[in-house]
C-alpha cells in the first residue's frame, strides 16, 4: 500500500493530524497460485464464512456488494486463477454467476450453491481442528474473533438453539482439538458442546469480551505493535486478515476499559477502518497519544481519464443494534426543590445511561448528574430526580443534557446531548408503597411481586428485577407499562422471565427488586428496594393435572353409561332396566 496524502483535520477547535490511507488498486492483485474465493451472497454470515475460509486456506478473496459489483471484482483477479465461487441458494446478488465469470475469460471455475454455507465450508477445510462458536444474532462478535481465528487456525461456527444438532453432528466427524465459546449463546448450544470441555469468553459486555480475545491474539502474535479499530458493524478485508487484532471503540465515546487497555497495550499505531468513528479515534489520538491512521478508500478498479480515481472500501454491512434515547419532559418541582427528568427509550432494546445536566437560570448555573448507571427497558420511560435549590429563580429555565448510553452498564458508547426548556410545577407526591413478597411462578415463567399501596392516593408502580443471573449473564427485567394500585389495595404484578432452569435458580440465592412509583404515570421518581430469598411455586402444574384427571373421569363416566334401545335414555353402567321406560337393558 502507499500513502496518497496527508490531511489536516480541524474539529472542535483542536488541531488533529490524521493520515488518511488510500489503498492502491495494485494491492488487490494476488500473486498466489491457489484458488481465489468470490462470495455471491446478500447474507453477512455467508460472506464472513467464505472470507474466513479463504484466509485459512491462504488464498485471495472478494465479496459482492451488489449485482453490478459482480463484474467489477473480476477485474481484480488474474485470469489464470482457479476461481471458487460461493453462492447463496436463496439470496445471491447474481443468478448464474458461474456463467458470468466464465464469459469474462476465466477457464477454471468451481461453484457451490448452498443454504448453509457456514457448515458446508467447514466440511471442506482440511486440517482445521480448532473452532470458535458464536451466536449469529450478534454480528459484532464475528468481527471481534476474526483476527484470533486466523492466527489460531480456527474456524468460526454459528450456533443457536435451532441448528445446534447440525453443529454437533458436524463436530462428531472431526478430530476436535479446541473449542472456544464466545459471547452470549443459547443454553442448548452450551449444553450440546459441553462434552468438549470448551473454553468460554463471556464477560457480559461486548467491549470486555473483545479485549479478552485481543489478549488471546497477543499471546500467539507476540510481536504485534499495531491494532485495527472498528465498531463491528461491517466486514472489510483487513479486518478479516489476521494481520492485526481488532479493538472495538464506541461510535462517539470510547468506553473506559478500552481506553485503559490501549494505554497499557504494546500497540504503537492504530488504524481506523472507515471514517465514521473519527470522533472517537480523535479522542484516542489526543488522550492516549498513539498515532491514528484512517483507512477509508481504495484505488479505482475501473479507472478512467488521466487522473486515478478512488473508491470507497468494499464493506459488507453487519446487523446493527441502534439505540435511541430521548427526553420526554424536564420539570422543576418547586414544592420538592427537585429537577425531574423523564427519559424515553424509543426503540425495542433495553438501554443503560448516565447523565450530566447543566441547569441555567437568569443569573447562575447548577450541575447535577447520575452517580450510577440507570436502566431503562425497551420502549419505556424513566424519571430521574435531582435535588437542586435554585434559590427562587424558577422562570426561564433551561437545561443542557449530556448523556452517555449503551447496551450494557460498561458499554456506554453513544452520546445524546441537547438543550431543553424546563417547565416549572408545584406538585407534592404523597404516594407510598410496600413490597410484600416475591416469588417465581415456574408454570408461567414469571416473577410475581406483591405490592401494597400504603399511601392515601392512587399510585402507579413499575417494578424491576435487578441483576438476575440467567444463562451465565446478569440481566434486568421490568414492565412495559406501569400498573395502577388503588388506595389501600394490594396487587400481584407479574414480570416475565422466560425459562429459568434449576441451575439458574441455584445461582440466584437472593433476588433484588426495585419498584419505581408515583402519582403521575410518567413521573415515577420515587423508588423502594427490597431483596428476597429465591422462592418459587409449581402449584399450577398440580392444578392442571388435577383438572385433567377430573375431566378424564367425567368422560369415562359419560361414555360408560348404558343407552336404552327403546327411549335412548342414558342409564347408570350397572342398571338392569331403563330408569325412564323400564325397558330391559342388555
Q: Indicate the angle between helix axes 117-124 and 44-57, nearest 10 degrees.
A: 10
User: Three cell numbers at 530?
Assistant: 427490597
36-88 tens-digit pLDDT: 999 999 999 999 999 999 999 999 999 999 999 999 999 999 999 999 999 99
CA-to-CA distance for 380 and 378, rounded, in angstroms?
Answer: 5
Characterize 306-329 residue by residue with b for buried, 16 or more Cβ atoms within 10 angstroms of its Cβ, and e for exposed.
eeeeebebbbbebeebebebebeb
- For the domain covering 127-221, report its CATH number: 3.40.50.12090
- For the domain covering 32-125, report its CATH number: 3.40.50.11230
β-partners of residue 84 are 37, 110
Determine contact, residues 158/170, Cβ cutoff 8 Å: no
132-152 tens-digit pLDDT: 999 998 899 999 999 999 999
Please choose, from the candidates 124, 158, 106, 143, the residue with its C-alpha nearest in 3D space to the C-alpha of residue 56.
124
Confidence at residue 209, expressed as pLDDT on a 0 to 100 scale? 97
Dihedral over Cα of 282, 287, 288, 289: its sign: positive
Mean pLDDT, residues 368-376: 96
191-228 tens-digit pLDDT: 999 999 999 999 989 999 999 999 999 999 999 999 99
Phi then psi for residue 167, to 5 deg, are: -65, -45
Please choose, from the candidates 368, 390, 331, the residue with its C-alpha nearest in 3D space to the C-alpha of residue 520.
331
288-297 tens-digit pLDDT: 888 888 887 6
CA-to-CA distance for 166 and 164, rounded, in angstroms?
Answer: 5
User: Three cell numbers at 496?
Assistant: 416475565
Phi then psi for residue 168, to 5 deg, are: -65, -40
CA-to-CA distance for 36 and 150, rounded, in angstroms?
Answer: 17
CA-to-CA distance for 149 and 59, rounded, in angstroms?
Answer: 16
- Which superfamily does 325-425 belong to? Immunoglobulins (2.60.40.10)
Q: Which residue has the higher pLDDT, 529 or 15?
A: 529
Q: Where are the domains of the chain?
A: 1-29+223-319, 32-125, 127-221, 325-425, 433-537, 541-586
Q: pLDDT at residue 4 above 70?
A: no
Give the percent of the chain with pLDDT over 70: 87
Mean pLDDT (the chain, rounded):
87
- For the domain covering 433-537, report its CATH number: 2.60.40.10
The residue with cell 488504524 is 271
Q: How confident is the model at residue 300 (pLDDT cuts 50, 70, 90)?
A: low
463-476 tens-digit pLDDT: 999 999 988 888 99
Residue 194 DSSP one-character state: G
Determine contact, residues 23/299, Cβ cutoff 8 Å: yes
- Matching fold, domains 325-425 and 433-537: yes
Confidence at residue 301, expressed as pLDDT on a 0 to 100 scale? 55
CA-to-CA distance for 449 and 459, rounded, in angstroms?
Answer: 16
Please choose, from the candidates 344, 298, 355, 347, the residue with its C-alpha nearest in 3D space to the C-alpha of residue 322.
347
Q: How confident is the model at residue 559 (pLDDT cuts 50, 70, 90)?
A: low
CA-to-CA distance for 124 and 558, rounded, in angstroms?
Answer: 63
Residue 298 DSSP one-character state: E
Q: Indicate the angle between helix axes 278-287 and 256-264, nearest 10 degrees.
A: 50
Confidence at residue 561, expressed as pLDDT on a 0 to 100 scale? 67
Amino acid at each position: 500500500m502507499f500513502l496518497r496524502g496527508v490531511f489536516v483535520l480541524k474539529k472542535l477547535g483542536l488541531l488533529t493530524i490524521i493520515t488518511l490511507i488510500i489503498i492502491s488498486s495494485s494491492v488487490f492483485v494476488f500473486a498466489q497460485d491457489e484458488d481465489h474465493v468470490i462470495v455471491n451472497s446478500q447474507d453477512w454470515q455467508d460472506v464472513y464464512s467464505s472470507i474466513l475460509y479463504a484466509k485459512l486456506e491462504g488464498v485471495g478473496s472478494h465479496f459482492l456488494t451488489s449485482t453490478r459489483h459482480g463484474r467489477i471484482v473480476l477485474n481484480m483477479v488474474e485470469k489464470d486463477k482457479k476461481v471458487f465461487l460461493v453462492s447463496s441458494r436463496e439470496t445471491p446478488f447474481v443468478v448464474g454467476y458461474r456463467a458470468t465469470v466464465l464469459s469474462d475469460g476465466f477457464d477454471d471455475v468451481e461453484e457451490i450453491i448452498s443454504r448453509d454455507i457456514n457448515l458446508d465450508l467447514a466440511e471442506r477445510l482440511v486440517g482445521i481442528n480448532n473452532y470458535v462458536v458464536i451466536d449469529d444474532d450478534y454480528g459484532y462478535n464475528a468481527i471481534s474473533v476474526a483476527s484470533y481465528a486466523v492466527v489460531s487456525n480456527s474456524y468460526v461456527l454459528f450456533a443457536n438453539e435451532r441448528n445446534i444438532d447440525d453443529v454437533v453432528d458436524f463436530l462428531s466427524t472431526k478430530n476436535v482439538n479446541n473449542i472456544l465459546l464466545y459471547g452470549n449463546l443459547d443454553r442448548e448450544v452450551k449444553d450440546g458442546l459441553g462434552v468438549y470441555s470448551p473454553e468460554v469468553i463471556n464477560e457480559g459486555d461486548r467491549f470486555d469480551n473483545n479485549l479478552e480475545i485481543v489478549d488471546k491474539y497477543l499471546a500467539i502474535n507476540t510481536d504485534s505493535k499495531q491494532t485495527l479499530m472498528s465498531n463491528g458493524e461491517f466486514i472489510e478485508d483487513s479486518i478479516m486478515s489476521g494481520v492485526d487484532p481488532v479493538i472495538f471503540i464506541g461510535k462517539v465515546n470510547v468506553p473506559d476499559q478500552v481506553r485503559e487497555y490501549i494505554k497499557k497495550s504494546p500497540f504503537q499505531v492504530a488504524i481506523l477502518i472507515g471514517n465514521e468513528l473519527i470522533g472517537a479515534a480523535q479522542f484516542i489520538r489526543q488522550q492516549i497519544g498513539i498515532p491514528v491512521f484512517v483507512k477509508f478508500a481504495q484505488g479505482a478498479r475501473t479507472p478512467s481519464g488521466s487522473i486515478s480515481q478512488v473508491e470507497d472500501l468494499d464493506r459488507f454491512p453487519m446487523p446493527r443494534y441502534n439505540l435511541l434515547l430521548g427526553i420526554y419532559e424536564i420539570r422543576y418541582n418547586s414544592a420538592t426543590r427537585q429537577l425531574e427528568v423523564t427519559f424515553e427509550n424509543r426503540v425495542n432494546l433495553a438501554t443503560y445511561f448516565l447523565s450530566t445536566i447543566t441547569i441555567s437560570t437568569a443569573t447562575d448555573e447548577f450541575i447535577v448528574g447520575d452517580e450510577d448507571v440507570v436502566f431503562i427497558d425497551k420502549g419505556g420511560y424513566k424519571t430521574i430526580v435531582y435535588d437542586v435549590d435554585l434559590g427562587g429563580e424558577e422562570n426561564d429555565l433551561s437545561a443542557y443534557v449530556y448523556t452517555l448510553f449503551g447496551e450494557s452498564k460498561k458499554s456506554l458508547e453513544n452520546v445524546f446531548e441537547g438543550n431543553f426548556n424546563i417547565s416549572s410545577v408545584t406538585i407534592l407526591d404523597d404516594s407510598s408503597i410496600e413490597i410484600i413478597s416475591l416469588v417465581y411462578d415456574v408454570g408461567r415463567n414469571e416473577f410475581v411481586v406483591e405490592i401494597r399501596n400504603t399511601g392515601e392516593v392512587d399510585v402507579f408502580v413499575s417494578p424491576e428485577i435487578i441483576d438476575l443471573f440467567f444463562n451465565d449473564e446478569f440481566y434486568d427485567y421490568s414492565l412495559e407499562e406501569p400498573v395502577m394500585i388503588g388506595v389501600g389495595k394490594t396487587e400481584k404484578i407479574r414480570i416475565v422471565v422466560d425459562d429459568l432452569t434449576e441451575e439458574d435458580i441455584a445461582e440466584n440465592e437472593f433476588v433484588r427488586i426495585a419498584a419505581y412509583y408515583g402519582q403521575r404515570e410518567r413521573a415515577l421518581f420515587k423508588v423502594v428496594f427490597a431483596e428476597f430469598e429465591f422462592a418459587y411455586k409449581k402449584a399450577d402444574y398440580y392444578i392442571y393435572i388435577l383438572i385433567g384427571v377430573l375431566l378424564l373421569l367425567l368422560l369415562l363416566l359419560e361414555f360408560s353409561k348404558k343407552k336404552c334401545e327403546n327411549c335412548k335414555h342414558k342409564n347408570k353402567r350397572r342398571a338392569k332396566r331403563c330408569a325412564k321406560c323400564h325397558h330391559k337393558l342388555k
